[in-house]
Amino acid sequence: FAKIEDPFNRLIIKSALEILKEDELEIVLLHNSGLKHKELAKMLNVPLSTVLSKYKRSLAKMKKFLQEN
């Protein structure tokens, strides 16, 4: 998120992130900061499959939001 320099694009991404639930947001931000899914699962004490499904679902929610707006 910090790598996005264009203020308009930052606002769009911020809006898309705001639709996520707290746990979804945490997974998306931590993964995009460089942590691997396995590391997230261990850190959050949840199964890897949970991290993977929440990440995938979160991206789909954001994509749908961005396409509709």
Mean pLDDT of 15-20: 94
Separation CA 34–CA 11 (nearest Å) = 22
Q: What is the pLDDT, as a whole number, of residue 1?
A: 64
* Weakest-pLDDT range from 2-6, 23-27, 42-46, 47-51: 2-6
Q: What is the pLDDT, as a whole number, of residue 47?
A: 96
3-state percent helix, strand, coil for the chain, nearest multiple of 5: 75, 0, 25
Q: What is the pLDDT, as a whole number, of residue 4?
A: 77
- For residue 3, the SS3 value is coil
Separation CA 53–CA 56 (nearest Å) = 5
Q: What is the pLDDT, as a whole number, of residue 41?
A: 96
Separation CA 40–CA 46 (nearest Å) = 8
Mean pLDDT of 18-23: 95
